Amino acid sequence: MPVQHSPSMKRALLRLAPAAVAVLAFAACQNDAAPTPTPGRITLVSGDGQYTRKGTEVEDPVVVKVTLSDGTPAAGQLVYFKILEGGGSLSRTSATASGDGLTSVRWTLGDATGTNRARIYVAADPTLAVDVQATASDFYCPEEDPAFVRTFSPAHDLFLLTRHSGLTALGSLQRVGVVKLHPDFPGSEFAAGLFSRFDEDILINVARDCAFSAHGDFYVAWTQGPAIHEIIRIAPDKTFTHFASLVSYLGSEITMTPSGVLGGCDEFGPFTVGCRDTLTRYEDATFSGTLPDATNGDAVAADPATGALYFIYLGDNSLRRVPLDGYTKTGPTETVASLTGDEASGARGMVVASDGSVYILVESTNTKALVRVTSAGTKTTAVDFFTRRGAGAAAGEQNDLAIDRTLGTGFLYTLDTLNDVMLVYDIGSDNLVEFSPSGNPDDFSDAGSNERVGLAVLP
């Protein structure tokens, strides 16, 4: 017997009919739709095996790619990031893969030296995972670790970077040379032997300086023609590779901090360079590069105990100090001492002794001196070349300053390119000695070329 409905019930069923049809249609569509794609693989794209100082972020992000079983990108998949070993932190704990299946995370290593590990896995299937590894060290780069094998030896060797007459080629090319100098202390003379030379155009005369790392990597700052301004690293086999790009057309002075970080200074201010071609400047020590708002790029030095970077600011003729822990600035830039105009603009080299005293080589028409400034800012004249050696040409033309801190209280070296002699200053005895060349002076210098040299002592 058919079911009978009241008029009101019939009206209600009529109202429900369209909704019921829609529900049934939706269910049918759901049944016909393809299943949600299942990720099939996660692969590491980049960022594994990095090396950095403990407690700092590795240079490159860790990048992974999620794909489906057929190899196509698994867009929209949720990925988790997790620390496994070493502490530290990740920039995020999860992320969604992009349209090409990629996602990434930045990684700060733990505060202890050793291996750090992290895992990246797919939320829909945690068995799809990759592990990455990084090394936390006391240094930013393996090359900076003094426990690594020395690339140059023996210690105390003195190296000279010069555009010098003994290597000047005929024609339009000049040669810039690296020369090993061998002081003979009992004999007060020195020998000079060519280590390496490079053909460059005439603008190589702005090649500025050289420095050794703690374990003996040798660095040179130079300008090679109008377009290349860089720091290179020279190997014992005399080959060289690019290390860092510079913006300064004039080149820069360079130095090495006790933590193995390469520092420098140009007309825009002091800087540090990472082992990965990263140049860092500091906000309150960065200048326009035009006088008087500029630094004296011929003078930069690192404190062997604290790592602080010293430079001369021409805007107010002051000696300043940037407190650093490696690359990290630990406080505001400080003014250490006021200098005269001659001392500031005429500075041609600067070093810091073991007791924290800063020695500045000044070479100008009216001032030729070795100036000493204590860490507290007290300034004295250690050597007045006019008084000690005489006026005019007798006072010489001093170029650059190097220090050997391992002998007694320290020895300072500078080269008088006008008189072709080496000057050695004993910090402990306050004694200046002249060393004459045992061979041909033209093998190492050429005052007629308005020579600018760099000196560095192998630690």
| Residue 107 shares a structural domain with residue 147 | no
- pLDDT at residue 53 in the model: 85
Q: Which range marks the domain in which residue 127 is found?
A: 39-138
Residues contacting residue 26 through CB under 8 Å, at least 6 positions apart: none
Note whether 418 and 369 are same-domain residues.
Answer: yes
d(Cα 208, Cα 228) in Å, to the nearest integer? 14
Q: Are residues 325 and 395 in the same domain?
A: yes
Of 138, 170, 189, which residue sits at a domain end?
138
Mapping DSSP to helix (H, G, I), strand (E, B) and coil, where does residue 142 land? helix
In a domain, 85, yes or no: yes
Whether 382 and 318 share a structural domain: yes
24, part of any domain = no
pLDDT of amino acid 83: 97
Distance of CA 69 to the CA centre of its chain: 44
Checking 433-440 for CB contacts under 8 A at 24+ apart, the result is 433/188, 434/188, 435/183, 435/184, 435/188, 435/189, 435/190, 436/188, 436/189, 436/190, 437/189, 437/190, 437/191, 437/192, 438/184, 438/187, 438/189, 438/190, 438/191, 439/191, 439/192, 440/166
CATH number at residue 299: 2.130.10.10
Q: Which long-range contacts (CB under 8 A, 24 or more apart) does 149-155 make?
A: 149/215, 150/215, 150/216, 151/215, 151/216, 151/217, 151/218, 151/235, 151/236, 152/212, 152/216, 152/217, 152/218, 152/236, 152/458, 153/216, 153/458, 154/458, 155/406, 155/458, 155/459
Pairwise CA distance, residues 432 & 425, whole Å = 4
**Are 438 and 376 members of one domain?**
yes
pLDDT of residue 8: 45
Give the three-state DSSP class for 426: strand
Identify whether 374 is part of a domain. yes
pLDDT computed for residue 225 by the predictor: 63
Domain CATH for 103: 2.60.40.10
Does 329 map to a domain? Answer: yes
How far is the C-alpha of 140 from the C-alpha of 132, rounded, in Å? 19
Predicted confidence at residue 203, as pLDDT, reads: 44
DSSP 148-187: SPPSS-STT-EEEEE--GGGPPSTT-EEEEEEEEEEETTT
Distance (Å) of CA 185 to CA 88, 158, 191, 435? 52, 13, 11, 8
The last residue of a domain, from among 138, 167, 195: 138
Same domain, 126 and 83: yes
Shared domain check, 169 and 52: no
Residue 21 within a domain: no
Looking at the fold, whether 101 and 250 belong to one and the same domain comes out as no
- What pLDDT was estimated at residue 259? 77
| Same-domain status, 45 and 166 | no
Contact 109, 136 (CB under 8 A): yes
Question: Which one of 104, 138, 172 terminates a domain?
Answer: 138
Per-residue pLDDT tens digits for 133-179: 998 888 777 666 666 666 777 778 888 887 665 555 555 556 677 88
User: CA 252, CA 233: separation in Å to the nearest integer?
Assistant: 15
* CA 188 – CA 423 distance, rounded (Å): 10
Look at residue 5 and tell me if it is in a domain: no
Amino acid making up residue 254? I
Residue 134 sits in the same domain as residue 161:
no
Residues 441 and 312 occupy one common structural domain: yes
Q: Is the backbone peptide bond immediately before 459 cis, with ω within 30 degrees of 0?
A: no
pLDDT digits (tens, 9 = 90+) for 373-389: 999 999 999 999 999 88
Q: What tens digit of pLDDT does each residue of 202-222 get?
A: 444 456 789 988 767 888 887
Per DSSP, the three-state class of 308 is: coil
Which percentage of the chain shows pLDDT scores above 70?
80
* pLDDT for res 451: 67
Residue type, 338: S
Number of structural domains (the chain) is: 2
Tell me the longest C-alpha to C-alpha distance in the chain. Answer: 135
> What is the residue-level pLDDT of the chain in tens, covering all 459 positions?
444 444 444 444 344 444 444 444 444 444 555 556 789 899 999 999 888 889 989 888 999 999 998 899 999 999 999 999 999 999 999 999 999 999 999 999 999 999 999 999 999 999 999 999 998 888 777 666 666 666 777 778 888 887 665 555 555 556 677 888 888 888 889 888 878 877 655 444 456 789 988 767 888 887 766 667 888 888 888 888 888 888 776 668 999 888 778 899 999 999 998 766 778 899 999 999 998 999 998 899 999 999 999 999 999 999 999 999 888 899 999 999 999 999 999 999 999 999 999 999 999 999 999 999 999 999 999 999 999 888 888 999 998 999 999 888 899 999 888 888 899 999 999 999 999 888 766 556 665 555 678 899 987
Residues 161 and 222 in one domain: yes
User: DSSP character for 399?
Assistant: E
211 within some domain: yes
Q: What are the backbone angles phi and psi of residue 298, rounded to the nearest 5°?
A: -90, 0
* pLDDT at residue number 458: 86
DSSP bridge partners of 414: 423
Q: How many residues are present in the chain?
A: 459
Average pLDDT of the chain is 83
Taking the model in full, what pTM does it have? 0.74
- Residue 189 in any domain: the answer is yes
Would you state the structure tokens that stand for residue 301, as one six-digit string? 């030095």
Residue position matching structure tokens 């093998």: 443
